[in-house]
Amino acid sequence: MALTPLHDRVLVERVEGEEKTSGGLIIPESAKEKPAEGIIVAVGEGARKDSGELIPMAVKKGDKILFGKWSGTEVTVDGKELLMMKESDVLGIIS
């Protein structure tokens, strides 16, 4: 079973409970709107330009990303808790 995001949405699996990642990225604890880490599970086709053409997504399946902690809508697919959010909620790609 699959859930395909529409337009410029992405489906993200949160990487939870890691105070320090193997790469050394620490999620700050006291910040008001703390960013979180996740893995891109699926991406939409992209938003459409005024001319009707698709704007390709800047992230792809498998990307490790940083996103605003309160971004997105929770869904559960095949037992996994995932987040559906807009690409614009993705702050950056971790590599």
Kindly list the residues in this chain that would bind a second copy in the complex (CB under 8 A): 1-7, 9, 11, 21, 23-28, 31, 33, 35, 44-45, 48-53, 55, 58-59, 66, 68, 73-79, 81, 84, 87-88, 90-95
Dihedral through CA 30, CA 39, CA 60, CA 92, nearest 10? 20
Rounded least distance, CB 75 to a second copy, Å: 6
Of 95, 93, 72, the C-alpha closest to 3 is 72
Rounded least distance, CB 47 to a second copy, Å: 9
Rounded least distance, CB 81 to a second copy, Å: 7
Sequence-distant (≥ 6) Cβ neighbours of residue 59 within 8 angstroms: 10, 40, 43, 65, 87, 90, 93
Nearer to a second copy, 52 or 62 (CB): 52
Nearer to a second copy, 2 or 16 (CB): 2
